[in-house]
């Protein structure tokens, strides 16, 4: 165990966690919603500080990040636990493990070992992913600071439910984030995720304002968040922050507790991409449909700049962050 960051004593043995927007009040002997932060005699502890449950070398495009060091590898790590309970989660075996199994598992790996592994594997970055990095923030914090000193970038793949206090602690060592904007409906978030929409919207804006590179992913689920109206709301919200934010529209496939819905029709994804572009977003991508909607084109002259298939870059013609044909700056971190 390690004493947690971002909590306060409420007296009589109770504490309030300030790590995520749930701001759980936890009495002695109990855990927060995430299942991995426990109050022991009036102090809050992380149960997963050095307990890695998954580690892999991935293409950075798998996060997905298309405008951040394309074609490079990222070392991905995760612990168990999540502050959401999405019934469609594709990583539920580890994200929901503490909630469903009532215990915490993982291999002991120290932050220094993670950074060494990233360097030895020639990764350009470390990604805190698969579950929710906010709930293992102490590990992210220590590892991220060490990684930054070694010229490695740090990436969050997140549901965006962190507090402003948590984001402040990430400034200086967090370089990019892909945020899941699961819906533009408060009812969706409460019913299917056990959370709320507004904190996610606020996080996207704060990340962008802080100079952290942001891309957004929406998993389009038939009958839940696939109406043209809702997709337009998402696109217009992102445009309101910046039309340069890449939006990844991802295909749903049945998982976890949701087997009664079909995979997202390709026609729905194509329509969503059209909605995003018409709303003013300059970069809208399709996900989980290799071979379509994956390339980056110059928003000015239309030249195909980065050609992809699935998670792999086949061609990259961007030169010093610019289109070689017309000179238009292409937003992102390219080097």
pLDDT score, position 89: 98
**What six digits make up the tokens of 181?**
């904007």
- Cα 77 to Cα 130: distance, rounded to the nearest angstrom: 7
Which pLDDT belongs to residue 111?
A: 98
pLDDT digits (tens, 9 = 90+) for 258-285: 999 999 999 999 999 999 999 999 999 9
Q: Tell me, what's the pLDDT at 335?
A: 85
Buried b / exposed e across 94-103, counting CB within 10 Å, b at 16+? bbbbbbeeee
Residue span(s) of the chain under CATH 3.20.20.70 come to 51-294
Q: What pLDDT, on the 0 to 100 scale, is given for residue 224?
A: 98
Taking the C-alpha atoms of residue 206 and residue 198, their distance in angstroms, rounded to an integer, is 12
What does the pLDDT read at residue 202?
A: 98
How far apart CA 282 and CA 300 sit, in angstroms, is 10
- pLDDT value, residue 192: 98
pLDDT at 24: 98
- The structure's pTM equals 0.97
Q: How far is the CA of 122 from the CAs of 117, 150, 178, in angstroms?
A: 9, 12, 22
Tokens standing for residue 215: 């891309």
pLDDT below 50 — which residues of the chain? Answer: none
What is the pLDDT at residue 1?
Answer: 84
d(CA 60, CA 39) in angstroms, rounded, equals 36
List, in sequence order, every residue forming a beta bridge with 296; answer none if it has no partner.
306
For domain 51-294, give its CATH number from 3.40.50.300, 3.40.50.150, 2.40.50.90, 3.20.20.70: 3.20.20.70
- Closest to 28 (Cα-Cα) out of 5, 52, 6, 11: 11
pLDDT tens profile 67-88: 999 999 999 999 999 999 999 9
Residue 222's pLDDT is 98
The β-bridge relationship of strands 51-52 and 54-59 is unpaired
């Amino acid at each position: 165990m390690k004493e947690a960051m971002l909590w306060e004593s409420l007296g009589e043995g109770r504490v309030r966690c300030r790590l995520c927007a749930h701001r759980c009040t936890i009495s002695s002997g109990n855990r927060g919603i995430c299942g991995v932060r426990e109050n022991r005699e009036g102090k809050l502890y992380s149960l997963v500080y050095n307990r890695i449950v998954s580690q892999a070398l991935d293409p950075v495009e798998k996060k997905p990040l298309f405008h951040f060091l394309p074609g490079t590898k990222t070392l991905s790590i995760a612990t168990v636990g999540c502050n959401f309970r999405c019934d469609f989660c594709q990583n539920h075996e580890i994200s929901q493990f503490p909630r469903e199994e009532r215990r915490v598992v993982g291999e002991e790996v120290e932050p220094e070992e993670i950074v060494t592994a990233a360097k030895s594997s020639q990764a350009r970055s470390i990604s805190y992913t698969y579950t929710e990095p906010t709930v293992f923030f102490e590990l992210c914090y220590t590892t991220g600071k060490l990684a930054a000193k070694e010229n490695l970038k740090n990436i969050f793949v997140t549901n965006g439910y962190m507090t402003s206090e948590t984001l402040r602690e990430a400034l200086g060592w967090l370089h990019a984030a892909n945020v899941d904007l699961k819906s533009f409906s408060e009812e969706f978030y409460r019913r299917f995720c056990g959370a709320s929409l507004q904190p996610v919207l606020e996080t996207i804006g704060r990340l962008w304002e802080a100079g952290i590179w942001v891309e957004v992913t929406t998993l389009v689920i038939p009958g839940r968040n696939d109406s043209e109206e809702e997709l337009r709301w998402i696109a217009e919200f992102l445009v309101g922050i910046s039309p340069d934010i890449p939006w990844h529209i991802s295909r749903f496939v049945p998982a976890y507790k949701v087997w009664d819905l079909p995979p997202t029709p390709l026609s729905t994804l194509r329509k969503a991409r059209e909605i995003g572009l018409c709303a003013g977003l300059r970069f809208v991508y399709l996900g989980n449909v290799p071979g379509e909607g994956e390339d980056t084109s110059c928003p000015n002259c239309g030249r195909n700049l980065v050609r992809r298939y699935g998670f792999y870059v086949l061609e990259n013609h961007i030169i010093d962050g610019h289109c070689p044909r017309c000179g238009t700056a292409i937003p992102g971190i390219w080097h």
